[in-house]
Amino acid sequence: MRIGVWNRRFLRVALARTAAWVGAVVLPCSALAQDIGTAPVIGTAALPRDLSPWGMYLNADAVVKAVLIGLAFASLVTWTVWLAKTVEIIVAKRRVRAAADLLASVRSAAEGVQRLADAEGEVRELLDAAVTELKLSDGAAEREGIKERVASRLERIEARYARRILRGTGVLATIGATAPFIGLFGTVWGIMNSFIGISKSQTTNLAVVAPGIAEALLATAFGLAAAIPAVVIYNVFARSIAGYRAQLGDASAEVLRLVSRDLDRPVAVPASPARWPAQLPAAE
């Protein structure tokens, strides 16, 4: 009898402990299931549907919009300068090459003036400056001094045309150097907006974070799109302008050789300016 009573007591205690353990597990699970059904689930909220560049621009912050507009304008300036300077450099190099080839076949400065009477441009101005100095130095006994003065005139003309051909290329260097940093500023601002949205909503929901990150990446892309072509085009122009200046230097050297040849002849400079061809430039 005692053994039966002890067994019944043991069974009641075991059943009570089992029921307590089941209640401790089932009740929290049911409460958690109710919370999951009612609380917002992170990462399942609806994202903005339009994440195209134009859609991100329309939804961007005012500062990010200003950055994007500035970078787009810089890119437009880059391609405009590329088109204008490409045409200018090609035309200038062809003009100098044609005039220099014609000048290489003449024997004197006076003949060169006659052959280039209808020409315009750098080589004609170099030749006119040399002839003008010969006229002004008519009767001078020191020929080396005449050559030095002619060389000085030619050097200044070369420098002036070099400055002229370089106009517009400085903006390419500026865009190439500053556009990545401007894009980086837009990137930082977009990420700041993302963190501000997280702080205000007290959630890390992807719908709150994604728009700011997208704006940041778009600003970075615009900065690179504006900087990379500007740097490449600037380097191409630097090589092309160096070639143009080399051609101009060759033409200047040819004019100086004509002057030296004229000075080494028995009658280097005519006694009267009337013997020079008509339409010579006035003294500078």
pLDDT digits (tens, 9 = 90+) for 169-189: 999 999 999 999 999 998 888
Cβ atoms within 10 Å, residue 263: 18
Q: Please give the distance of CA 137 from its chain centroid, rounded to a whole number.
A: 49
Q: Where are the alpha helices (DSSP H) in the chain?
A: 2-38, 53-58, 62-103, 109-115, 122-136, 143-166, 170-201, 206-264
Q: What is the mean pLDDT of residues 58-79?
A: 88
How do residues 238-262 score in pLDDT, each as one tens digit?
999 999 999 999 999 988 888 888 8
CA distances from 65 to 54, 70, 79, 134, 215 (A): 11, 9, 21, 62, 9
8 pLDDT above the threshold of 70: no
Please give the model's pTM, rounded to 2 decimal places: 0.69
Instruction: Write the single-letter amino acid at 242.
Output: A
- How confident is the model at residue 43, as a pLDDT? 42
